Amino acid sequence: MAKVTNTVVGVPDDEKLASTILDNDSEHDQQVADTPIAYPSGAKLVLILAATALSIFLVALDTTIVATAIPRITDDFKSLDDVGWYGSGFFMTTAAFQSLWGKAYKYFSIKLVYLLAIVIFEVGSLVCALAPTSAALIIGRAIAGIGGAGIVSGSYLIVGISAPPARTPALMGIIGASFAVASVAGPLIGVNLPVGALSFAIVLFFFTTPSHSKPVKATWKEKLLHMEVSNRENLAEELMLTKRHILGTFTILAALICFLLAMQWAGVTKPWDSRDVIGTLVGTGVLSIAFVVLEWYLGDRAAVNPRLLKNKTIGLMMVYQVLVSGTFFVLLYYLPIYFQSVSGVSPANSGVRNIPMIIGSCIFAITAGIIIAITGEYQAFMIVGSTLICIGSGLIYTLGVGSRSGEWIGYQVLAGVGMGMAMQIGVTVSQAVVDPADLSEASAMAIFFQLLGGAIWIGVAQAIFSNRLVQGLTASLGADDTMQVIAAGATGLRDLFAGDELRAAIESYMVGLRDAYAVSIALAGAGAIVGVLSMIFDRRQIGKGMKAAVAVAEEA
């Protein structure tokens, strides 16, 4: 039938090409449907899991190295007011480019796309390592975020297609644990370029795309067209939709930039009622509305698919992702400032002091994944996990200048246990409740909202921290000394002040940090409420659906 269609006289070349792609896609889908799914097992599955875990380890290593180094970075670049950008600059590009990577994985070789993502990530990391200024570091973080988007979505996708659905939650727990292990190792290793090279080599030599997930057989031109054009009846209209899809990516990116600029300026370098702050906040609102309209217009081709969001389970999971990710990243970025600025320890020692939270997260990410795989119960983990984060964050809020080691260790363990329970649920559940054809989109959406939460809430926490710090310093030391502290960086207090002035400066830091930790408390509390709503209005056991899917696959 494809040959008859493509030899009709008078059919434009682009339409012939489009028709060929559709025919190839249909034949490919039919072949996949008729072929029993053969999942990798044994040593091959272990190698695939090791490759994806190592890649996630790479991204997490970069995140935690930077988080631990931020106080010292602010000293070197005299850029305390840029703290929010060092984290959010990475998360905003990681979130914004999720959709484009998702499409690349759908229509190109998963292996080649995955390797490309690692290369882009490493280039960004190299830019960061060689950055002579704070602006250059932020640019490097943004480039690394583009590659990180491909690594994260690709890792979850590879795990999702390499094992039966009933086993996926446990494997997702292992992926989450690799993030936690990297969080411990980051401050101790201090560099990620060699780890990236090792990850690249393992994927290159040992990973093979499973037969049931091969891309459509087509030329590069056909794939590039198919990547963005799904309805060939009106090619001109579809190409216009393609431009709007790309526009949507840069619209959400612009909205995040406006928001972060407002959070950086407001109350620190510019008044809240200044034209710049008001203008960027208005710009954030307008661009956000434009993004929502574009996504609604694009429908199934949108980065945030409206059809999937109408699924009650997925809608609740996306809200939960935004909230819970914020609790984790706020603590990850602002606990090192407490240890280095208030307690006066080195960056390496600060990283070691973060280990209790990470170990708790690591152990319970695996434990929760296994239990969810066996029982299918996930709402209880949403509620209990969020509650533990809320309590742990509340206790961290009480830390002060003279807090004992038993306090900051115990409080972090409690928060870490909750994070381990909660962080992977959004991706795991979203993958479990969609059709196989929507697996990559559901994964990308869950990661998009998780990273969007990171970008937004780090920016909010930075604005609160900076404003409270400036207010406290101005009241105790005066405006001139306040600007000195901001310029000196997070660990330069002891070089500027001594005696009562030093104590006043440190107490001002504590006021700002406590209010930043309050953001984590509020987000965790809201996450617990979402868990309760899920328990009431969306009571389901995903394990039953998973086991049914496995049974169907085995019968085939």
Tens of pLDDT along 186-195? 666 666 777 7
447 CB contacts (<8 Å, ≥6 apart)?
94, 95, 98, 149, 152, 153, 156, 427
Q: What pLDDT, on a 0 to 100 scale, did the predictor assign at position 413?
A: 96
Q: What is the C-alpha to C-alpha distance for residues 425 and 421, in angstroms, rounded to an integer?
A: 8
Question: Among the residues of 163-305, which ranges form H helices?
Answer: 168-189, 193-206, 220-228, 235-265, 275-298
Q: For position 388, what pLDDT does the model report?
A: 98
180 band by pLDDT with thresholds 50, 70 and 90: low
CA gap 49, 155 in Å, rounded: 9
Burial bucket for residue 384 (CB in 10 Å: 0-12, 13-18, 19+):
middle
Distances in whole angstroms, Cα of residue 184 to Cα of each of 55, 204, 290, 348: 16, 27, 40, 11
Q: Is the pLDDT of residue 392 over 90?
A: yes
Q: Tens digits of per-residue pLDDT, 349-359?
A: 888 898 898 88
Q: Is residue 234 over pLDDT 90?
A: no
The answer to the question of residue 1 being in a domain is no
Q: Which has more confidence, 225 or 205?
A: 205
Does residue 6 register a pLDDT over 80?
A: no
Residue 146: what pLDDT?
A: 95
Residue 554: exposed, middle, or buried by beta-carbon count in 10 A (0-12, 13-18, 19+)?
exposed
pLDDT higher at 232 or 356? 356
Give the pLDDT mean for 489-503: 83
The answer for residues whose C-beta is within 8 angstroms of residue 553's C-beta and 6 or more apart is 36, 37, 164
Q: What is the pLDDT of residues 78-125, one digit of tens each?
A: 877 788 889 889 999 998 888 788 778 877 888 899 999 999 999 999
Look at residue 266 and give its three-state secondary structure.
Answer: strand
pLDDT of residue 22: 42
Mean pLDDT of the 286-309 span: 88
Q: Which amino acid is at 416?
A: G
What is the mean pLDDT of the segment spanning 540-551?
53
SS3 content of the chain, % helix, strand, coil (to 5): 85, 0, 15
Q: Strand, coil or helix: what is 554?
A: helix
pLDDT in the model for residue 252: 92
- Classify residue 310: in a domain, yes or no: yes
CB 98 within 8 A of CB 447: yes
* Euclidean distance between CA atoms 73 and 91, whole angstroms: 18
The CA angle 211-213-219, to the nearest 5 degrees, is: 95
Q: What average pLDDT does this structure show over 400-417?
A: 95
Cα atoms found within 13 Å of the Cα of residue 137, Cβ hemisphere only = 21
In this prediction, what percent of the chain has a pLDDT beyond 70?
Answer: 81
Q: What angle do CA 369, 63, 372 make, to 5 degrees?
A: 5
Tell me what pLDDT residue 9 has: 36
Percent of the chain with pLDDT over 90: 39
How is residue 166 annotated by DSSP?
A: G
pLDDT at 10: 38
Q: Name the residue among 155, 152, 150, 146 with its Cα closest to residue 90.
A: 146
Q: Say how many CA atoms lie within 13 Å of 281 toward its Cβ.
A: 15
Tell me how far apart the alpha carbons of residues 129 and 73 are, in angstroms, rounded to a whole number: 11
Q: Report DSSP state, residue 82.
A: G
For 68: left if phi > 0, alpha if psi spans -120 to 50, otherwise beta; the answer is alpha
State yes or no: pLDDT of 5 exceeds 60.
Answer: no
Least confident of 257-261, 406-410, 486-490: 486-490
The pLDDT of residue 188 is: 63
Give mean pLDDT, residues 431-438. Answer: 81
pLDDT at 399 over 90: yes
**Mean local confidence (pLDDT), 146-167:** 84
Burial category of 365 from C-beta neighbours within 10 Å (exposed 0-12, middle 13-18, buried 19 and up): buried
Say if 56 falls within a structural domain: yes
pLDDT of residue 228: 47
Question: What confidence score (pLDDT) does residue 291 get?
Answer: 94
Query: In the chain, how many domains are there?
Result: 1
Per-residue pLDDT at 396? 98
pLDDT band at 241 (very low <50, low <70, confident <90, very high): low
Confidence of residue 12 (pLDDT cuts 50, 70, 90): very low
Q: Mean of the per-residue pLDDT values for the chain?
A: 81
> Higher-confidence residue: 90 or 179?
90
Whether 13 is covered by a domain: the verdict is no
Position 119: which residue type?
V
Select from 69, 58, 73 the least CA-distant residue to 332: 69
Write the DSSP assignment of 191-212 as a string of letters. Answer: --HHHHHHHHHHHHHH----GG
The answer to whether residue 198 is domain-embedded is yes
Among 33-42, 178-187, 384-393, 444-453, the range with the most confident prediction by mean pLDDT is 384-393
The Cα-based distances of 75 to 82, 157, 217 in angstroms read 11, 40, 53
Q: Is 499 exposed, middle or buried (0-12, 13-18, 19+ CB in 10 A)?
A: exposed
Cβ-contact 459, 84 below 8 angstroms: yes
- Specify the CATH number for the domain of residue 56: 1.20.1250.20
Separation between Cα atoms, residue 155 and residue 148, nearest integer Å = 10
* pLDDT at site 137: 94
Residue 231 lies in a domain: no
Q: What is the pLDDT of residue 130?
A: 92
Q: Give me the pLDDT at residue 203, please.
A: 82
Asked whether the predicted pLDDT for residue 183 surpasses 70, the reply is no
For residue range 244-264, what is the model confidence (pLDDT) as tens digits?
667 888 999 999 999 999 998
Residue written as token pair 């699924």: 311
CA distance 84 to 268: 13
Q: What is the mean pLDDT of residues 374-391?
A: 94
Amino acid at 225: L
Cα separation values, 481 from 300, 343, 476, 493, 543, Å: 55, 21, 9, 11, 59
Comparing CA positions, the residue from 296, 64, 71 lying closest to residue 192 is 64
Tokens representing residue 191 in the block: 């560099």
Task: Name which of 45-54, 229-238, 280-289, 427-436 the model is least confident about.
Answer: 229-238
How far is Cα 201 from Cα 50, in angstroms, rounded to an integer? Answer: 12
Q: Is the pTM of this model over 0.95?
A: no
Phi, psi (degrees; rounded to nearest 5) at 402: -105, 20
Selection from 143, 115, 302, 109 nearest residue 202 by Cα: 115
Per-residue pLDDT averaged across 306-335, rounded? 93
Q: Rounded to 5 degrees, what angle do the CA atoms 150, 156, 158 make?
A: 90
Q: Check pLDDT > 60 for residue 229.
A: no
Q: Which domain holds residue 447?
A: 39-211+238-555
Whether residue 23 is contained in a domain is answered as no
Local structure of 401: helix, strand or coil: coil
Return phi, psi of residue 422, to 5°.
-100, -30
Which residue has 């840069």 as its token pair? 250
DSSP state of 339: I
Q: Is residue 26 part of a domain?
A: no
Q: How confident is the model at residue 14 (pLDDT cuts 50, 70, 90)?
A: very low
- Looking at the predicted structure, is the pLDDT value of residue 486 above 80? no
